[in-house]
Structure 1
Amino acid sequence: MAAVGAACAAALVALTAVPAQAHAPVGRPAPHWQLKDTGAPDVRFRGLAAVGRDTAWVAGTGGTVLRTTDGGGTWRDVSPPGAGDLQFRDVEAFDARHAVVLAIGEGEASRVYRTDDGGGTWTESFRNTDTRAFYDCLTFFDRRHGLALSDPVDGRFRVLSTTDGGRSWSVLPDAGMPAALEGEAGFAASGQCLVASGPRDVWLATGGGARARVLHSADRGLTWTAAATPVPAGDPARGVFALAFRDRTHGLAVGGDYRADQPSPRAAATTADGGRTWRPAATPPPAYRSGAAWLPHSRVAALAVGPTGTDLTTDGGRTWRTLDTGSYDTVDCAPDPVCWAAGEKGRVARLER
């Protein structure tokens, strides 16, 4: 599997070096996003879970959840009943039958649902009753242990915890959470403002405050440390929008300013010490990016996506090159190896080569 992942990364490097028709072997197309018809042109999918080459879940506006088990050839609408007014921004899937989705918003608009039968039925396992809370994203360490992140309540980020795969949730104590900066919050842009790697490590990304920060916990959310990043902040529209960690020490942060008429310099950063320190990318993506993912089985290659395109790094996030100019909000990869992306106007694509 590692050899296949390395070959995929090498092919992506070649793709960015010269035009596809100049280097692609006869009869074999260069790596590219292949759009899959979801039949949902009015939905914006910011939640994405890549289970494998054949199976993926997407979640988005209008309470919509779709699932494919044939590589995107067909999609089944498995939306929870009565969820039409909700905005799903994250989905975490364990396989083709078991998944957890998060709806975002103030007060009771923030909810969590779980299915054990491929979306045939859903159970609402959490409904936020605190009007001060606004949940943004969730992550799982394994099939049982996971966390969900809310914007600050009483001056500290609030974290939910589950130990039974999302069937029940409880608010963690905030004594080990550093104080939030004025105006600081998470971004519910891609389901990647809270990410885990390994059995206990988790990171959360922030923006809106004077500095864009990444907070890290090594004990499943009980205690946290905060580190500033070089990604610009100082405005409610700026900060770190997505994180990706390939192990407990090496990570990427991407973001910028989500407003289309505003530039996003220094829109990416890297860490090699678990998030204690962050360095700006020498050549960052050219614009705001809302999602990121490491290529399967690669120590150096990753993708970043946003409304104006997809970028590739082949040196661990130090430099980025544009791969595609299509609009995507989120990206996720599975060990198959395969990568999927999703975004506005019902757009879902699988990376092909």
Structure 2
Amino acid sequence: MNRRRTLATVLLMCCALLIAGCNTEQATAKPAAEKKREKQRLPYVKSLHMIDGNKGWMLAIQDSSRRLLKTGDGGRSWRDVTPEAETVIPAYILDEKHVWLTTKEFADKQLVYTADGGETWAKSEPLSTESQMMGLHFLNEKTGWMTNYVRGIGAGGSQIELAKTEDGGKTWVAISGGSTEKEIPVEGYKSKAVLSSNDEGWIPLAASGHPWAYRSINGGADWEFYSLPVTEQMPKEQFFDMQPPIFFSDTAGLIPLYFLTDRLEVYVYSTEDGGRNWDIPPALDIPLQNSGEYEIEMDAVSLNRMWLVSNRNEMYAFDNGWKTVASVKSLIENNARILAFDFINESEGWMAIGNEEGALLYKTEDGGMSWNEVMVKNIDL
């Protein structure tokens, strides 16, 4: 009888141990499942601006509200530092501390800005002109320019106004165009002015014929017609659209330009001497969508290393010639698209893919040839 009781006791203990073991496995498995659920989708991403491998900014839309988020760990977590004032486009991010956001883009145009990474915000004094803010560009933490749209001029151009700040965005003074005494020629449809130094600047535009732009050599006060060189391969007397210039120093920069024919022909002008001489690599040819619509976004880290996204679904990389980044296609599913991307050097870049319902973040360490998902663990919205 005692032996039977002992055997029964042993069996009960074994069963208890098995049950405990099962519970232990479930207990260890549960955190793994919870860990998997910790990954979060980003909101709808409007733009990415990474400062280095850890620090960066994101402009996003959450519940119809524009939000400014920052990361300090390469995109794994994001913190909302949006000011209380409702913000609109445009915005400008200079570095890890200095950001300018628009709160009023018409009439009494006004900005909010931060000099400490979004911990505190200040308001600019209103700039009262009859125009609409269309672009911001800052050379450093003190000096910047605001481009404002005044009106269209028939079928051949537009009238713009340029304002300048020298105190970090607190006060602005109109310096050319609009109601000022300094004229900006009306020919061509213009986008925002980009200044590469305190003196030299460029106004890109869309027009027809021989490629040209407007250039200033006195800080944006005066603007003159500037003819760009052409190659034999370029279309003649054709509509062209010039993207905002990208400058890496006072003298080294790029001007992307494309022609619209039965396809997009993208040319990127590069200069090392402030525009006295230009190099023009062979074009990138991009097929048009069935609808004929097109959308181009570009990023570059040097004169010879750049990336271009066409219609939010195809990425091309330039490194002594253009090539398709085939790996990006495999990441786009259903109605998702490339929402934003940014590179900090020839190897490291980030890309957000998604739609209005949310986005996933990816990172490359080989110049875009392959991408790995960034496991976003925390979004403080």
Instruction: Give me the TM-score of the superposition, normalised by structure 1.
Output: 0.66
Q: Gaps spanning 5+ residues in structure 2: where?
A: 1-38, 153-157, 288-293, 367-381
Q: CA deviation at 1:44?
A: 4.2
Structure-1 residue corresponding to 2:141 = 143
TM-score normalised by structure 2 residue count? 0.62
Once the two structures are superposed, what CA deviation does each residue of 1:43-93 show, in whole Å capped at 9, x if it has no partner? 3414x433211111122553221111111111112222131xx43343223
The answer to whether 1:301 aligns with 2:305 is yes
- 2:201 maps to 202
Q: Is the 8 A contact 2:339 2:353 kept in 1?
A: yes
1:20-39 correspondence to structure 2 within 5 Å: 39=41
- The residue number in structure 2 matching 1:242 is 244
Which residue, 314, 318, 322 being the options, matches 1:313? 318
- In the other structure, the counterpart of 1:90 is 91
Shift of 1:162: 1.3
Hey, what does 1:224 align to over in structure 2?
223
Whole-angstrom distance in 2 between the partners of 1:127 and 1:343: 37
Deviation at 1:337, TM superposition (A): 7.3
How many Å separate the matches in 2 of 1:291 and 1:52?
21
Change in CA separation of 1:277 and 1:146 when aligned onto 2, cut-off 3 Å: same
How many pairs are equivalent? 291
Question: In angstroms, what is the RMSD of aligned CA positions?
Answer: 3.8
Q: Does 1:178 align with 2:179?
A: no
Cα distance in 1 for residues equivalent to 2:81 and 2:138: 21
Q: Which has the higher contact order (CA 8 A, sep 6+)?
A: 1
Q: Which segments of 5 or more consecutive residues in structure 1 lack a partner in the other structure?
A: 1-36, 187-192
2:333 counterpart of 1:352: no
For residues 239 and 264 of structure 1, the distance between their equivalents in structure 2, rounded to whole angstroms, comes to 13
Tell me, in whole angstroms, the C-alpha distance in 2 between the residues paired with 1:241 and 1:344.
Answer: 24
Of residues 69, 73, 84, the one that matches 2:72 is: 69
**Which structure 2 residues correspond to residues 241-280 of structure 1 after superposition, within 5 A?**
241-247=243-249, 248-254=251-257, 264-272=263-271, 274-275=274-275
The alignment-based identity, stated in percent, is 18
Question: Does residue 214 of the first structure (1) align with residue 213 of the second (2)?
Answer: yes
Distance in structure 1 (CA, Å) of the matches to 2:263 and 2:225: 23
1:54 corresponding residue in structure 2: 54
Q: Is the 8 A contact 1:125 1:168 kept in 2?
A: yes
- Displacement of 1:163 in angstroms is 1.0
Which whole-Å CA distance do the structure 2 matches of 1:341 and 1:200 have between them? 34
Amino acid at match of 2:318: T
Shift of 1:159: 1.2
Match for residue 290 of structure 1 among 296, 317, 320: 296
Deviations 1:231-254 (A, max 9, x none): 99988xx72233223342541314
Q: Distance in 2 between matches of 1:99 and 1:82?
A: 14
1:67, 1:146 → 2: CA distance?
22
Q: d(CA) in 2 for partners of 1:251 and 1:219?
A: 20
Give distance in 2, aligned partners of 1:256 and 1:105. 31
Alpha-carbon distance in 2 for matches of 1:103, 1:241: 25
Distance between the aligned counterparts of 2:93 and 2:45, measured in 1?
Answer: 17
Letter aligned with residue 239 of structure 1:
D
Question: CA, structure 1 residues 281+60, in 2 after alignment: closer, same or farther (shift >3 Å)?
Answer: farther
Distance 1:308 1:88 in 2: 23
Residue 173 of structure 1: SS of its match in structure 2? strand
CA distance in 2, matches of 1:336, 1:216: 30
Structure having the higher strand fraction is: 2
